[in-house]
């Protein structure tokens, strides 16, 4: 399965989610690789820290920022892996569009901080609708609520607006939600994911997310 972790908006958790899922998938025995399509190469740096520290399982990442080469290179790499996660840049750049064409499933992190997060997602979903129609077999897309703060009225209120997006663009929202937890950042700087870190709640929610995605993958 090829998954794109994608959003038009920066800082919503695309890389965090790609990294944490890659660890869960690798722990479950899937040969997993992250394609880092963002010029900043943050995920490549993260796997570098992981490698230097000898953290098991090692997570492979490959930097691919040339949009012309992306399709061929990912397809070639897919021969070696069960799951590829494409960590996209925060834009609708040509490479992000190619990633959508290539993927079997889109994962769209959304932080429910109000209008701007939601309207930016609308722009991405506009593009997604066009691509889905062109793609044989369609293209399932799932919104993933990230950095959720259940006590904030704004966050709760945003959920109902997101429901409208779901209806308008025929996308689904994952049952799994990732709450705002310092463990995500703390694990990241150590080359780790929350699966391997000390926050049990974070570990539980990332496992639930990984399992939900694997289940969706079975049906594709």
What's the rounded Cα separation, in Å, for the pair 94 and 20?
A: 25
Cβ at position 5, least distance to ligand ATP in Å: 8
Question: Smallest distance, Å, CB 11 to Mg ion?
Answer: 8
- Among positions 70-129, residues that touch ligand ATP (CB under 6 A) are 90
Piece of 6-14, 112-120, 128-136, 155-163 that binds Mg ion (CB under 5 A): 6-14
61 binds ligand ATP (CB under 6 A): no
Q: Which is nearer to ligand ATP, 1 or 36 (CB)?
A: 36
Q: For the residues of the chain, what is the DSSP string, one character each?
A: -EEEE--SSTTSSHHHHHHHHHHHHHHTT--EEEEE-STT-HHHHHHHHHHHHTPSSP-EEEE---HHHHHHHHHHHHTT-SEEEEE--SS--HHHHHHHHH-SEEEEEE--SSHHHHHHHHHHHHHHHHHHHHSTT---EEEEE-SB-TT-HHHHHHHHHHHHHHHHHT-EE-S--PBP-HHHHHHHHTT--GGGSS-HHHHHHHHHHHHHHHHHHHT-
Q: Which residues pair with 106 in a beta bridge?
A: 4, 141
Please report whether residue 184 would count as binding ligand ATP according to CB under 6 A.
Answer: yes
Under rule CB under 6 A, residue 195 binds ligand ATP: no
Provide, rounded to whole angstroms, the least separation between the CB of residue 136 and ligand ATP: 29
CB 178, min distance to ligand ATP, A: 4
Residue list 23-42, contact with ligand ATP (CB under 6 A): 38
Shortest Å, Cβ 78 to ligand ATP: 22
Please state the closest distance from residue 15 (CB atom) to Mg ion, in A: 3
Q: What angle do the packed helices 200-218 and 14-27 form, to 10 degrees?
A: 80
Tokens 């040969």, located at residue: 31
Residue with Cβ nearer ligand ATP (80 or 211) = 211
Draw the binding track, 8-27, toward Mg ion (x: CB under 5 A; -: no contact).
------xx------------
Is 180 among the residues that bind ligand ATP (CB under 6 A)?
A: yes
Contacts with ligand ATP by CB under 6 A lie at: 10-16, 38, 90, 146-147, 178, 180-181, 184-185, 188
Residues that bind Mg ion (CB under 5 A): 14-15
């Amino acid at each position: 399965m090829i998954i794109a972790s994608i959003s038009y908006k920066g800082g919503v958790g695309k890389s965090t989610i790609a990294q944490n899922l890659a660890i869960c998938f690798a722990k479950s025995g899937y040969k997993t690789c992250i394609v880092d399509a963002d010029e900043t190469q943050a995920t490549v740096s993260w796997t570098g820290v992981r490698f230097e520290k000898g953290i098991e399982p090692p997570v492979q990442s490959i930097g691919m920022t040339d949009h012309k080469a992306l399709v061929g290179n990912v397809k070639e790499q897919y021969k070696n892996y069960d799951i590829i996660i494409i960590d996209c840049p925060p834009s609708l750049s040509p490479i992000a569009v190619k990633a959508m064409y290539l993927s079997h499933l889109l994962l769209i992190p959304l932080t429910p901080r109000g209008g701007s997060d939601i309207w930016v997602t609308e722009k991405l979903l506009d593009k997604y609708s066009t691509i889905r129609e062109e793609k044989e077999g369609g293209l399932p897309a799932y919104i993933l609520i990230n950095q959720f703060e259940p006590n904030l009225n704004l966050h709760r209120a945003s959920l109902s607006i997101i429901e409208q997006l779901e209806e308008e663009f025929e996308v689904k929202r994952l049952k799994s939600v990732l709450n705002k937890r310092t463990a995500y950042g703390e694990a990241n700087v150590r080359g780790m994911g929350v699966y391997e870190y000390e926050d049990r709640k974070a570990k539980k929610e990332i496992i639930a997310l990984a399992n939900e995605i694997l289940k969706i993958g079975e049906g594709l």
